[in-house]
Chains A and B, each alone.
Chain A
Amino acid sequence: MRTYAPATVDRVLDDLLADPSMARGVVHHERIPARSARTAPLPPWLDPRIKRGLEQRGITSLYTHQAEAIEAIHAGHDVAIVTPTASGKSLCYTLPVLQALADDRSARALFLFPTKALGQDQVAEFSALAALSELDISTATYDGDTPAPIRSAIRTAGQVVVTNPDMLHAAILPHHTKWFQLFEQLQVIVVDELHTYRGVFGSHVANVLRRLLRLCAHYGSKPLIVSCSATIGNPLELATTLTGRTPRLVDRNGAPAGERHLLLVDPPLLDAATGARGSALTLANRWALPFLRAGRQTIVFGRSRTSVELLLTGLRESLREHAGPRSRVRGYRGGYLPTERRSIEQGLRSGEVLGVVATNALELGVDIGRLDAAVIAGYPGSVAGTWQQIGRAGRRSGVSVVVVIASGSPVDQYVIHHPEYLLAGAPEEARIDPDNLHILLAHLKAATFELPFEPGEVFGPGPADDLLAFLAEEHHVRQAGDGRWYWSSENFPASAISLRTAASENVVIIDTTPDRPRVIGEIDLFGAQTAVHEDAIYLHESTQFHVDRLDWNERKAYVRRVDVDHYTQADTAVTLKPLDVFASVGLPGGRREHGEVMVASLATIYKKLKFITNENLGWGRIHLPEIELQTTAAWLTLDPAQVTTGPGGSWRRNELDIGLVGAGRALQAVASFLLMVDPRDLGLVSQVRSPHHEAPTIYLYETVPGGVGLAERLFERTDELIAGAADLIAGCDCDSGCPSCTGPRLEPGIDARALALRLLRTLSAASPVAAA
């Protein structure tokens, strides 16, 4: 048999679907028809030099969404652009910025990207277009790698400054007097990859933008904000919360696309009693191989560095067995050197590289051209992320294929059996809470350092005076004789704030692998007890680290790079007590509420679990003090009357316990899906008889101190949440509860599925249909 037998994408797909062992796993096959381009002419006001530049790029007209965005920006509106990957989003802001600079050489623009690599790609592209337009524009990246002598040149002369939120927060805003030329003339702020600014990070970035706009006002500039996002459920809301202003939404995509097949694949259930499933990695290998053999450019996405290595080894072995040129399939993930990455990207564009196995390091807008097929091993964690990976396959014309393979996790299972979520508009939402007190106060300090506050001056939700008075009690700020609030400490507040964590007190994670140990991250205390306890396997940018030592008093975790086949999972004993109820609404079978809670958590033991199979390899004890967390939560309470007289008769105590846990697990999975968060960002506590409510209660609390707005939204979307959880459980093909729906079995002989379903249906008063 020849290793490579060129064939069309259609042909390979037909062959695959003709194989019953492959076709069996396909739970959904969607053919997305080709779409032709909708275009609009270049705007008449566009500088002729820019027109010529575009023409040299082969651009003589715009897609309709580009034209719409550009006109709105030109008219002076904030704009939020939401279109799929590779639809030419960046042109929406590069053209107006070029035009502004062509009109007025003293104009300035600031581009914000969440990562350094992305910023560098955009600088190259922007500069190239500026050069073609024969505009002499100084564009510069200002990040941690920028050499000191160049920094001062950028400060005074950089017309387009490209940076990231961390740099803006710690290096630019606190030193704004050195950047006064930028702040005085700032006309456009670009916030690209908007959807990545969610959760704690997004809540911080919203405050960084508040500080930025405050300084702009001080210097007398009124910049527009242009944001770009992948498809999410609430782009306008996110952009509004993040920037504090209401932009115009541009979301009617005019870019063309070729025909695309989307296949959702569920690995077969191996054991209905335990819920064990086939491996997503093995399946991914089998789906990808035929495309590679046919000479079709294919990308395979794994969720972690380890799965990438496993996939890569598997594919190379399969191809080498038949003497294939193994270097045509390459790995691509965090930890690779930039030059390595560039050569792979180049190889993909030229066709020299046939296949790539990647982590989500390739998820964002790095340009690799378009490929014929994408195989996604494991749901990437969000619909938006999935579409970004899907977007890697799909030529402007011609057929492409995308295969999404689920793992056994409840979130994966939920998504794979609800293709409508992937296909018809995303229901998931990016949530942030810029008014989280920990975050807000931290940035208020930084803002006071940057510029004194006028009495009554608004920062975020309202006048900042009360908050400033609070900071004054701690001697961070002081109200001076003129009533203004001044920074009043020797410290430099920005250096104490990490944009990735909410609490001020964090455990610093130190990698001792290199000769000179370096800090690789920070984690709040609450997260630390389960993520960096001694002997934990800590994952950072898809790299595994072993925690050698956790110095709790010093708040330092010493880790070492390792390559192991397992991960660790910590168990905690959690107690929860509500402190305040913000809102309370009745449900047919109980109540839904949200508010502030105090969570006390004690990490007890950890388990070592094998990748893929989740086989238990051993366990150990964790010796750490109990940690208290004040945060927000949403909870569901069952009407006590239902316990005795509800549909299906009265509940026995152990049944109620299992029903609450099972329903809670499913609710947690669906909640993490709806709000685009890691399931670990939401904690679960169920109480058969809550001391506070004197009724059975399921709490979903935010693991970030103070919360980032997830709980409030869960409260608002309770109906969807209950319906989704019921769906997930009902749709599972296990016998009586499994890790993919209600969680691992608690007690043999009790049908957790049926109990959880009954509970959910009682709450929502849906007709109590027996589980399938």
Chain B
Amino acid sequence: MSDAAILERRLDRFRIARDAERGRVAGGPRAPAEPAWSGLARSADTRAQRLAQGLGGSRIDGPGGGHVMIEPAPVALPIDRDRSASLPGHPGPEVKLVCLDTETTGLATGAGTLAFLVGLGWWEGDLFQQAQLLLPDEAGEAGLLDALAGFLPPDAWLVTYNGRSFDWPLLVARFRMNRRTPPRLAGHLDLLPFVRRIFRHRMSDARLKTVETELLGMRRGHDIDGWEIPGRYLEMLRGGPVEPIAEIVRHNHEDVLSLARLLAHMEQRLGAISQRRLAPAGDLVGLARAFRRTGRDNDALDCLDAALEGPPRPVVPAVPGQPGREGGSAPLRRSWTAILTTRADAAETGRLGPPRLDIIVERARLLRRLGRHREALEAWQEVARSGSPDAALAWIEVAKCLEHRERDPAGALGACAAADQLARRSRFLGRPLRGIEADLGRRRIRLNRRVKASGRG
């Protein structure tokens, strides 16, 4: 008996065993799977036809049955690109921005995950235009990718949400799978890191949907859950209904639109310096970090100054069941130390403590980097006197400034003594600050020597 023949018989028994295990009645080897692929090809064709009709799209012919392109009506969504360009990591006003979001057959980024729907959006004046490329059958992928490449001119920037680690690498893989060179991008603006850095502190999570509800103050109507998407699409490929695809297309359309809205929101709230200063302190701190990452230290400092000096600001748009973190009602969960320091600080300034002190620490570091040592010293002194958990560290920074910049070893020694006192108290409470203790040991020996030397001199 040939190997192939044995394999065939074994496969038959394998099938029987499997079917039996599933509790299905299996009398013998099943009839061979649906014959020939001409029938399947026809159904792919039908699918394309029905999708195009149902979604108001057009069929684009191409190898393997082509794809469907849907062009939703443009919406007015003005954006001030000059202001947008002033934000960290954003491209200049002349650069074309193409928003992109994909729907895929899975979350694994391996070679077997397909991007079956690619949503694109771009501005033409104040109008936001969109196009969606949908695959009625795997066979049409190469054509879809070629069409996609046409939407991505080499000087354009891509705008995505988590696209740096998911959508774009996945598309690159699809191009490679189809033996095509992936399109070159002039740049890629992934908005997820911005949301994480700037807004996440007042959001329940960083999903795009949450951005819509908690940041943009809007609510989608009925929307499909992300986890349902691959199953619905794969089911349609297997001959299931095409109707559920409409919901996926709508979902994708909303996602792309939200990218544009988020860009506009950021530009409006944070683009202009005068407007920016009214933003919640937490946002400003995050924005300051984003500026620092791009080397724009002066802009970062401005954000921190604004966060500290600005007038009492309104509570962040309230989210049901979630009190705002700024002003008004107290956050639900606070650590014990946070409560202690808040009280101390609040008495002084009438405003919230812990973020404020954190901001001052951050500002002090930034000032040191900018070489503005006198102001840095003042900032450190403010933290040091607050008695916050960072006070011991701040006293050491004060000591450093006094010793190296102000040439005041005696003053530095005094700062060390204050730090030492805090460290002792912390040790007494069972939370020794080992790093600070070690630092203080060395520092005080050196300072004592210098004080003596200067005394003799």
- Verify B64–A480 contact, CB threshold 8 A: yes
What does the 1/0 interface line of B107-128 toward A look like (CB < 8 Å)? 1111110100000000000000
Using a CB–CB cutoff of 8 Å, the interface residues on chain B facing chain A are: 1, 3-4, 6-11, 13-15, 17, 30, 32-33, 37, 40-41, 43-45, 63-65, 105-112, 114, 137-140, 169, 172-173, 176-177, 179, 230-231, 234, 237-238
Cβ of A34 < 8 Å from any Cβ of B? no
CA distance A275 to B65 in the complex (A): 76
Q: Do A493 and B112 contact each other (CB < 8 Å), given the known contacts A480-B139, A482-B139, A596-B13? A: yes
- Contact yes or no, A177 B111, CB < 8 A: yes
Smallest CB–CB gap between A667 and chain B, Å? 24
Are A630 and B6 in contact (CB-based, < 8 A)? no
Cβ of A41 under 8 Å from chain B: no
Residues of B within 8 A of A159 (CB): none
Once the chains bind, are A178 and B173 in contact (CB under 8 Å)? yes
Smallest CB-CB A-B distances: 3 pairs: A449-B112, A481-B44, A482-B139
Of all chain A residues, the one with the shortest Cβ separation from B47 is: A481
A173 CB to closest chain B CB (Å) equals: 8
Give the number of A-B contacts (CB < 8 Å): 131
**Chain B residue contacts of A490, Cβ below 8 A:** 105-107, 230-231, 234
Q: Is the CB of A481 within 8 A of B112?
A: no
Task: Please determine whether B37 and A481 come into contact, CB atoms closer than 8 angstroms.
Answer: yes
Docked-complex contact B137 and A449, CB < 8 angstroms = no
Which residues of chain B come closer than 8 Å to A452, judged between CB atoms? 138
Q: A473 at the A/B interface (Cβ < 8 Å)?
A: yes
B110 (CB) vs chain A CBs: closest residue: A174
- Complex-state Cα separation, A492 to B111, whole angstroms: 10
Q: How far is the CA of A493 from the CA of B231 in the complex (A)?
A: 16
Most buried by B among A174, A461, A481, A489: A481
Closest Cβ of chain B to A364, distance in Å, is 31
A630 to B13, CA, bound (A): 9
Can you report 20 residue pairs joining A to B where beta carbons are below 8 Å apart?
A174-B108, A174-B110, A174-B111, A174-B112, A177-B172, A437-B10, A449-B111, A461-B3, A461-B7, A470-B15, A470-B33, A473-B33, A475-B238, A481-B138, A482-B139, A484-B139, A491-B108, A493-B112, A580-B10, A706-B10
**CB-CB < 8 A to A462: which residues of B?**
3-4, 7
In the bound complex, CA of A466 to CA of B15 (Å) = 12
Most buried by B among A473, A484, A490: A490
A480–B47 CA distance with the chains assembled, in angstroms = 12
Q: Chain B residue with minimal CB distance to A628?
A: B17
Q: Using CB atoms, name the residue of chain B closest to A465.
A: B33
State A21–B9 Cα separation when bound (angstroms).
60
Residues of chain A contacted by B8 (CB below 8 angstroms): 466
Q: Which of B32, B44, B108, B169 has the most CB of A within 10 A?
A: B108
- Tell me, in angstroms, the Cα distance from A218 to B178 when the chains sit together: 10
Neighbouring B residues of A482 by C-beta, 8 Å: 37, 41, 63-65, 137-139
Cβ–Cβ contact A580 & B13, under 8 A: yes
B111 touches A175 (CB 8 A): yes
A residues less than 8 Å from B111 (CB atoms): 174-177, 449-451
A482 and B143 alpha carbons, distance in the complex (Å): 13
In the complex where A490-B105, A630-B17 touch, is A480 in contact with B138 (Cβ < 8 A)? yes
A488 at the interface (CB under 8 A from B): yes
Contacts of A582 in B (CB 8 A): 1, 6
Complex: A435 Cα to B9 Cα, angstroms: 13
B33 & A483 in contact (Cβ 8 Å cutoff): no
Instruction: For residue A20, give the distance in angstroms from its CB to the closest CB of chain B.
Output: 57
Chain B residues positioned under 8 Å from A483 (CB to CB): 37, 40-41
Closest CB-CB distance, B224 to chain A, in whole Å?
15
CA distance in complex: A497, B9 (Å):
24
Closest A residue to B140 by beta carbon equals A481
In the bound assembly, the distance between CA atoms of A492 and B105 in angstroms comes to 11
Contact B138 A466, beta carbon cutoff 8 Å: no
| Chain B neighbourhood of A218, CB < 8 A | 179
Contacts of A433-478 to chain B: CB distance below 8 A: 435, 437, 448-452, 455, 461-462, 466-467, 469-470, 472-473, 475, 478
With A461-B7, A478-B237 known as contacts, the answer to whether A175 contacts B1 (CB < 8 A) is no
The answer to whether the Cβ of A579 comes within 8 Å of any Cβ in the partner chain is yes
Give the distance in Å from the alpha carbon of A247 to the alpha carbon of B17 in the complex: 38
**Which residue of chain A lies nearest to B9 when distances are taken between CB atoms in the complex?**
A580
Task: Give the shortest distance, in Å, between A502 (CB) and chain B (any CB).
Answer: 13
Q: Is the CB of B176 within 8 A of A180?
A: yes
Q: How close is B38's CB to chain A, nearest CB, in angstroms?
A: 9
* Chain B hits for A469, CB < 8 A: 32-33
Query: Chain A 579-614, CB within 8 Å of chain B: the 1/0 string?
Result: 110110000000000001000000000000000000
Instruction: Assess whether B112 is in contact with A487, with CB atoms less than 8 Å apart.
Output: yes
Residues of A within 8 A of B138 (CB): 452, 478, 480-482, 484, 486
How far apart sit A740 and B53, CA to CA, in the bound complex (Å)?
78
B37 surroundings in chain A (CB, below 8 A) = 455, 479, 481-483
Q: Which residues of A contact B33 (CB under 8 A)?
A: 469-470, 472-473
In the complex, chain B residues whose CB is within 8 Å of the CB of A479: 37, 40
Known: A462-B4, A469-B32. A175 touches B139 (CB 8 A): no
Q: Shortest distance in angstroms between A345's beta carbon and chain B's nearest beta carbon?
A: 38
Closest to A581 in B: B1
Nearest A-chain residue to B3, judged by Cβ: A461
Asked if residues B106 and A492 are in contact (CB atoms below 8 Å), the reply is: yes
The answer to whether B13 touches A579, judged by C-beta atoms less than 8 angstroms apart, is yes
Q: What residue of chain B has the Cβ atom nearest to residue A471's Cβ?
A: B33
Beta-carbon nearest neighbor of B237 in chain A: A478
Asked if A492 contacts B3 (CB within 8 A), the reply is no
A contact residues around B32 at 8 Å (CB)? 466, 469
Task: For the A-B complex with A462-B7, A486-B138 known, give 4 more contacts whose Cβ atoms are closer than 8 Å.
Answer: A174-B112, A466-B8, A480-B138, A580-B10
CA distance A478 to B33 in the complex (A): 11
Contact of B11 among A448, A450, A467, A580 (CB under 8 A): A467
CB closest residue in chain A, given B44: A481
Q: Which residue of A lies closest to B21 (CB)?
A: A628
Chain A residues with CB below 8 A from B43, complex form: 481
Q: When the two chains form their complex, are residues A491 and B173 in contact, meaning their CB atoms are under 8 A apart? A: no
| CB-CB under 8 A for A492 and B108, given A177-B172, A435-B7 | yes
A176 CA to B40 CA, complexed, in Å: 29
> Min CB distance, B219 to chain A, in Å?
28
- Contact yes or no, A488 B7, CB < 8 A: no
What's the nearest-Cβ distance from chain B to residue A470, in Å? 6
- By beta carbon, the residue of chain B nearest A445 is B112
Q: Are B106 and A491 in contact (CB under 8 A)?
A: yes
* A481/B106 in contact, CB under 8 A: no
Most B CB atoms within 10 A — which of A449, A482, A489?
A482
> Chain B residue with minimal CB distance to A215?
B111
Min CB–CB distance A524 → chain B (angstroms) = 15
* Bound form: Cα–Cα A175–B112 in Å: 9
* Residues on B with beta carbons closer than 8 Å to the beta carbon of A480: 40, 44, 64, 137-139, 237
Contact in complex: A481, B238 (CB < 8 Å): no
Contact indicator A451/B177 (Cβ below 8 Å): yes
Chain B residue at minimum C-beta to C-beta distance from A220: B179
Interface contact B7-A481, CB-CB below 8 Å:
no
Which one of B13, B65, B112, B179 has the greatest number of beta carbons of chain A within 10 Å? B112
Complex-state Cα separation, A487 to B174, whole angstroms: 14
